[in-house]
């Protein structure tokens, strides 16, 4: 009986594996787009990243805001940044940059 159960479970798993959709490709890393990351945003498991200063971002830095980048494919995260009062600045590579106000 255990053998029959094992075979049924194994065959079910194999059949399920054949019907799964391919995962959506992840966006390129911020570094691949020339960005410097500081930490995830808004939480340690956040999709977006706080972006640091380099030649690509220096004109977007502001002492009253955090520069945040989100993958262009992360439409929910982008919507949240805008809902938080963020201002969309530009897109660099596959990353959309926002100015998130501190105050």
Position 18 scores a pLDDT of: 41
Closest alpha carbon to 65 in 79, 77, 51, 75: 51
Structure tokens at 96: 């959309």
In tens digits, the chain (103 residues) has pLDDT values of 554 444 444 444 444 444 333 444 577 899 999 999 999 999 999 999 999 999 999 999 999 999 999 999 999 999 999 999 999 999 999 999 999 999 7
In angstroms, the CA 65 to CA 52 distance is: 12
pLDDT at position 99 is 97
Confidence (pLDDT) at 67: 98
Q: Residues 6 or more apart from 30 whose CB is under 8 A from it?
A: 36, 37, 49, 51, 69, 93, 95
Which pair of structure tokens corresponds to residue 28?
């390129």
What pLDDT, on a 0 to 100 scale, did the predictor assign at position 28? 85
pTM, two decimal places = 0.73
72-98 b/e (C-beta count within 10 Å ≥ 16 → b) = bebeebbebbeeeebeebeebbbbbbb
């Amino acid at each position: 009986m255990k053998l029959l159960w094992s075979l049924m479970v194994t065959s079910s798993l194999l059949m399920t594996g054949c019907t799964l959709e391919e995962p959506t490709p992840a966006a390129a890393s911020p570094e691949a787009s020339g960005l410097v990351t500081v930490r995830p945003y808004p939480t340690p498991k956040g999709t977006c990243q706080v972006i640091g200063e380099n030649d690509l971002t220096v004109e977007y830095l502001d002492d009253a805001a955090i520069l945040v980048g989100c993958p262009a494919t992360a439409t929910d995260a982008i919507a949240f940044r805008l809902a938080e009062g963020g201002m969309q600045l530009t897109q660099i590579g596959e990353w959309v940059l926002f100015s998130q106000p501190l105050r």
